[in-house]
Structure 1
Amino acid sequence: MAETTVSVLPSIASVPAAEWDGCGAGGDPFTTHRFLAALEESGSVGKGTGWHPSHLVARIGGAVAGVAPLYVKTHSQGEYIFDHPWADAYQRAGGRYYPKLQCAVPFTPASGSRLIAADPQVQAALLAAMEHVAGKAGLSSAHVTFCTAAERALGEEQGWLGRTTTQYHWQNAGYGSYDDFLAVLSSRKRKALRKERERANAFGGRIVSLRGDDIRPEHWDAMWAFYQDTGGRKWGRPYLTRAFFDALHRTMRNDCLLIMAERGGVPVAGALNLIGRDALYGRYWGCIEDHPFLHFELCYHRAIDWAIAHGLGRVEAGAQGEHKLARGYLPAQTHSIHWVADPGFRRALSGYLDEEIAAVGDDMAETAAFGPYRRGPQQMVF
């Protein structure tokens, strides 16, 4: 068998889109060449952002056999699997936590393949290359976040530390309509959601779902205003640039679903979703007017409507948010793996993660028991 070689590339533009996507990127839209290119070309990652592209490309006999989106990070912002306490502890002990390596999709808490290759041996080579790059540069650690369960298992086989975190996902049990979904809920919860949707839709305007060429430049102007408002309140400053939304329109508008609330012909609230092969991914929400329950309608209920209508298996509505539970979104595991250079720090993290995994499992079971379904947490994903 020909030897597998792995190279580090300073930008996604250094590898042709057909070769990158040909490795299997595209089960979700976020690891596609076009999405990563939109981040780089818009200046959302790169110089001055703390996200410095260092993508890996594995070749066998000169042919691209695997890829991994990789960044040198100088902070822990925009990751959603939090290691800030790790950084604090390491630095209090006299170490230098940053920079570190991060194999991830920036600003995107959506699970999917990060070691993008059909052959597990190539995936293993990508992991080994991360260890080599981090070790050679004297970096504290390398992290693969929101990876698949299989990638986590592979990483643990190679000595990486596994971590479990939680999100809330809605699972499509073959529903033919939103009413079919409501039918599996308890009577009280069913009535509450119907009333909630009625109040949301009485805001004094109309709600439209837009995809592809139906999305016009003025819709992106509105979405940018919404995003700035939400980003400014949550993160201090938005991660994405205005140019990123223009890049989405140019190369990914067929992957986008905008759900907009308009009043008097003016957009007053909106939610941006991206469409995968079997999932709808809720990403950004914002508004310039406050209306009762409109957030829940645009982000959660309309996403369920769309997933049912288009036969998608689930809706992933982003990080955190126990308020999603009452709307049918139940706890689901998310995975990451972590390589740590310092043996003492690694031992300390290993013990911490063992305790955290047990606590996460207990919390998921307890939380799911409070879900709206009649027969308990039958949809909980482990």
Structure 2
Amino acid sequence: MAQRNCTYRLSELAEKLDGVIQGSDGTIFGLNTLEKATQEQLSFLANPRYVSQLTSTSAGAVLVTPEMADQVTGTALIVDSPYMAFAKVSQLFDWRLDDESEGVHPSAFVHASATIGSNVTVGAGVVVDANVTLEDNCIIGPNCVIQAGSIVGQSSRLEANVTLYPDVVLGQNCLVHSGAVIGADGFGFAPSKQGWVKICQLGGVRIGHSVEIGANTTIDRGALDHTYIGDGVKLDNHIQIAHNVVIGEQTAIAGCTAVAGSTKIGRHCTIAGHCGITGHLTIADHTHITAMSLISKSITASGQAFSSGTGQEKHSDWKRNVVRFRQLDDMARRLKQLEQKIDNLSIEGLNK
């Protein structure tokens, strides 16, 4: 398992998590599931469907709520929210914390005009172009390319093979996963009789603090103004963010979703996987969009949930429903004709 090589006393973790130990103190070397944890590992119960595993787990301790503590046969670490506690303690065992490299690898290229802060790591094969700024405590993974005028904020990390095009500003404490491309051209072309005429994308990308960007996600540069990603935004793998999109603070978007150009997404939104959001829309704060939804109209009232994808069903049922769906227009016309006949009969009855 890719976990940091470290140990904690359970009492130390209890103090960090504002938890209470039920049972004996012990040493914790890592985290694992209820099913696979050993005596030296910490596990957690956040989903009621796994309650039965509390009696069979070999975990050295289990994070549970006060209501579930009496069902733990071994040691329990009682906290208000086991899932939140698990999230916090996972950061203590993150394998990235074992990185001890620092400085510029001999195979990296750093332009003479670039500004490199203190405690910066630049990995093998990295290219740092003219007038780039890498602020203090940055880690740039192998084979990354950071093009002219871009800025990587303090304590941010680029995993291997990330590309930042020119004029990309990445905030502090960001994490960008491998294969992400930030600042590529937006999809802008004007039609002509001779073919498509390219519209050069002259804006940049501005990314706030504490943003995480998943593997192979792409964020296009603006056409004139910038593309903006707010503080605390979390983007999953394989997401497409088009030119001049604005994403508000603390919004989270799951994998394979695509957002078309100039759409503005509010703060604290959650957008599930495989969604399509068309261009030039406004989506209000605290909107939730379920998986495989197509959003083609603006959402102006905050706090609503929207769906357009179909839920799971048996293939035989799905085939019948598809046939009926294709008949909807004809059925609607026939229904309208029937309503008209009923209205006419009612009128005739009143006139008698």
TM-score normalized with structure 2 length? 0.25
Which structure: greater helix fraction?
1
TM-score normalized with structure 1 length? 0.24
Which of the pair has more CA radius of gyration?
2
